[in-house]
Amino acid sequence: MHIAIIMDGNGRWAKAQNKKRIEGHKVGVEVVREITTYCAKNEEIKYLTLYAFSTENWKRPKMEVEFLMKLLDDYLKKELDTYIKNEVKFEVIGDIFKFSKKLQDRINLTKEKTKNFNKLTQILALNYGSRDEITRAVKKLCENKEEITEENISKNLDTANFPDVDLLIRTSGEVRLSNFLLWQVAYAEMFFTPTLWPDFTPKELEEIINNFKLRERRFGGI
């Protein structure tokens, strides 16, 4: 099973707690650890894709963006042991070349240290936007003078080595995809929960998964 999550609501959670937005992001990172650990222990879940930083997030205040970059670097440094302990392979989708060399090195080091694990593949979407991803894939096909087909586009997406999404979840009550995996969720089952990301728990994820299992997936058929 491939689960993808739009982790939304950190800022609103912080505001409700009369705290700064960055405090919501800090708690959100703790939830990433809890959800990833839960998925690693669930044999049915093989891929977990998390929308961590979009191409549009650069529009946020400079101070918040800088904090998020540092938070990501700290997260990868601290969580390497968690990845190793739970045998989680770390992967990234998106254009990471806009990040600092230090952060790129941290990302690549984490990928290298976890490349042989196979209990769960955790995929962080970083500087990711689905329209950008599809555009880059089509450009690559044109440059290589390859035929533009669904199969060839899929092979040139950032997610070429991963299966399509089975279950998409968005927290915080918003009901939209926000430029996330538009190609890969074509036949995914979607769940939108009002729970803000810092309040999201493995128990709620388990309930959503159980609900997902009750749905009939016809993939366009009868």
What angle (nearest 5°) sits at the alpha carbon of residue 35, between those of residues 209 and 113?
A: 125
Element (H, E) at 45: none
Which residues are annotated as catalytic? Answer: 8, 57
Count Cβ neighbours within 10 Å for each residue of 43-65 and write b for 16 or more, e otherwise. eebbbbbbbbbbbebeeeeeeee
Is the separation of the CB atoms in 70 and 99 below 8 Å?
no
DSSP class of residue 23 equals H
Q: How much is the CA Rg of the chain, to the nearest whole Å?
A: 17
CA distance 151 to 133: 15
